[in-house]
Structure 1
Amino acid sequence: MAEARSDPNPPPPISEEYLAISSQPSTRQEDPESQRKLLILDLNGTLVYRTPHQRKTAYQVPGARALRTVHPRPYLPSFKEYIAHPQVSRWLDTMVWSSAQPHSVQDMVQKTFGSGKVLRAVWARDTLGLTQEEYNRKTQTTKNLEKPWAELGHSPKTTFLLDDSPLKAHLQPWNHLCIQEYVAEIRRDDVKVRDAEVLRERREEQLGSPQKEQQKESPTPHEELEDEDESKKRKRERGKAKKERKKAEKLAAATPSELEPVDANRRPLQYDQTLLAVIGVLDTVKNESNVAGWMRSGGLLNVSTTGEDLKSRSVTPGPLIKKPRLSDTSTTSSGLEHPPRSPSPPSSPAAVGEEEVSVPAEAAINLWFEHQDAFAAWAKRGRVALEDLGIDVTHGVTGSPN
């Protein structure tokens, strides 16, 4: 039997220091400002969906870099308001760290955050320590959190990396809040939900108000004598009336699936609620003394909803997970180990007034979002956190599917 070849560039092991810190239990802090937290945000696939590269056209400026269309993930407007809220900024530092090239990162940051000062730093592909060859081709990249810790004064006890790639933080797995990638398929479903809402609203308006008399299409002799401004005004009115007729025709022809879209299992489609769940996690971990310790002890998979007010709110089921990101094997084709699986969560009983949602202990921490009860509970917490801060829960889905 031929001897198996070893990987010439094996990934470095998790440091003993990191293992020791992540083994320390987390304790509750009453004042979140006593220990600031750091949120490191990925962009494409995490906060936004970028359309594929388009073929160059004759109209493109020679040498110009083509920028791709950026679509926000649902509830990004509320998420941005949350991290920028004065009460949250007292305990949270936020930065962007993307593996995209600097010009793409600049474009996505501008379209996502505008010119606000919510970000402490913006890092791109040139900060990942890649060779020139690796920089210019698709390759598995690692975000070694030691770099931002040294730069911004944080540690395993204070940091969350929000990223859709399960292997991105294999050196510090218990600081990685991995989420499902926001892809074209999920984006299309979100647009279906938005379009159905618009159709239902228009139908309600149509049923609740008398039909307007249709504008005449052909001009009268008097119209021909009107001055140019009045003629343009009437032309706009006729155009508006034509659009209204088309809307009415579309409403009349709307199918049940357009008014109430469903998934492959005949369940009602809903907006992707990932960012609501992330807000729920952040609003809980702000009071934890050790993020890595909390994650490693199964914090994501042992969520409870507290208080009568919270219990009285209805929980919306989490989204259908259409594309599992990892297999059950311990390594990938690239040879990188998956983040270790979570140990059994503590079996302490729920506190008085709590409603506990437990998930199988053998589930991988970085696949927490596949456990729909836990995911729904975190999304529910996120909604409550926004309401407590006076932030509107706004999905912000706009535009065409692609």
Structure 2
Amino acid sequence: MPWNLQTGATGQERTTKGMNMARVRLIVFDLDETLVHATEVALPCAHSFRIGPYFVYVRPFASDLIRFCASHFDMAVWSSSSERYVEIVIAELFGNSYPVAFSWAVSKCVQKVDPKSNGYVYIKDLRKALKHGYAADEIIMIDDSPEKLQRQPMRHLCLTEFTGDPCDTELLGVIERVKAMAEM
């Protein structure tokens, strides 16, 4: 079960049970519906930037989260989007101020048939980060899709999907949790 930021249907307290945070060295960010939302149809609020036909909306507090993580952890990006899209979003969010250890796109995902949807799920196997000098237990992946982290669910900080709401506060909780990791 991933470390979910959401309170359960029964109102249970959010927890870090089962997650070894003492050795976290690398935070890996997903992009779509985690840090940004991209859509071909403009939303009623102002977009942050555009990529081709897409209006891209940066999740509120994303810059605060990135700034904090940059001062305490190594950072990386792993998205199931195209390489060019990933490059552009990284340039917009991280720029030159916050370098990433690596940035991976769909080509680094493991494609697996999803019997529920009869489509595909793109799995992010954190063992691929070993060649960059990180052990799997030193990595936390911040992503909205638990099915993509099915091989290391205890290394997954699961967020609700961001759909462009300018009042979204999900990342405030993430900032508190990564602050706790930094203090360990």
Give the TM-score range, shorter chain: 0.7 to 0.9
**RMSD over aligned Cα, in angstroms?**
2.7
Which residue of structure 2 aligns with residue 109 of structure 1?
90
CA distance in 2: counterparts of 1:24 and 1:77, whole angstroms = 28
Per-residue CA shift, 1:36-60, capped at 9, x if unaligned?
5110100010001111379xxxxxx
The question of whether the paired residues in 1 share the 8 Å contact of 2:111 and 2:121 is answered with no
What is the correspondence of 1:322-361 to structure 2 with a 5 Å cutoff? none
Question: Aligned match of 2:180 in 280, 284, 292?
Answer: 284
CA distance in 1: counterparts of 2:108 and 2:41, whole angstroms = 23
The question of whether the paired residues in 2 share the 8 Å contact of 1:161 and 1:177 is answered with yes
Opposite residue 275 of structure 1, the aligned amino acid is L
Closer/same/farther in 2, CA of residues 286 and 111 from structure 1, 3 Å limit: same
Closer/same/farther in 2, CA of residues 284 and 126 from structure 1, 3 Å limit: same
Are 1:75 and 2:61 counterparts? yes
What is the correspondence of 1:199-348 to structure 2 with a 5 Å cutoff? 271-288=167-184
Are 1:143 and 2:141 counterparts? no
CA distance in 2: counterparts of 1:161 and 1:287, whole angstroms = 18
Closer/same/farther in 2, CA of residues 158 and 144 from structure 1, 3 Å limit: same
More strand by share: 2
The question of whether the paired residues in 2 share the 8 Å contact of 1:67 and 1:107 is answered with no
Please report how far the alpha carbon of residue 286 of structure 1 lies from its aligned counterpart in structure 2 after TM superposition: 2.8
What is the correspondence of 1:80-159 to structure 2 with a 5 Å cutoff? 80-85=66-71, 88=72, 92-130=73-111, 139-148=120-129, 150-159=130-139
- Of all paired residues, the percent bearing the same amino acid is 27
More helix by share: 1
Are 1:37 and 2:25 counterparts? yes
Please report how far the alpha carbon of residue 109 of structure 1 lies from its aligned counterpart in structure 2 after TM superposition: 1.1
Which residue of structure 1 aligns with residue 34 of structure 2?
46
TM-score when normalising by structure 2: 0.73
**Structure 2 regions of 5+ residues with no counterpart?**
1-16, 43-50, 113-118
**Relative contact order higher in (CA < 8 Å, ≥ 6 apart):** 2
SS, match of residue 27 in structure 2:
strand
The question of whether the paired residues in 2 share the 8 Å contact of 1:70 and 1:111 is answered with no
CA distance in 1: counterparts of 2:106 and 2:53, whole angstroms = 16
Per-residue CA shift, 1:347-379, capped at 9, x if unaligned?
xxxxxxxxxxxxxxxxxxxxxxxxxxxxxxxxx
Opposite residue 67 of structure 2, the aligned amino acid is E
Which residue of structure 2 aligns with residue 177 of structure 1?
157
Per-residue CA shift, 1:228-276, capped at 9, x if unaligned?
xxxxxxxxxxxxxxxxxxxxxxxxxxxxxxxxxxxxxxxxxxx322111
Opposite residue 56 of structure 2, the aligned amino acid is V
CA distance in 2: counterparts of 1:180 and 1:160, whole angstroms = 16
**Structure 1 regions of 5+ residues with no counterpart?**
1-22, 30-34, 55-64, 132-137, 191-270, 289-402
Aligned residues: 154
The question of whether the paired residues in 2 share the 8 Å contact of 1:36 and 1:93 is answered with no
Per-residue CA shift, 1:159-211, capped at 9, x if unaligned?
11000012111111100101001014xx2xx2xxxxxxxxxxxxxxxxxxxxx
SS, match of residue 157 in structure 1:
helix
The question of whether the paired residues in 1 share the 8 Å contact of 2:110 and 2:124 is answered with no
Opposite residue 170 of structure 1, the aligned amino acid is Q
CA distance in 2: counterparts of 1:170 and 1:40, whole angstroms = 15
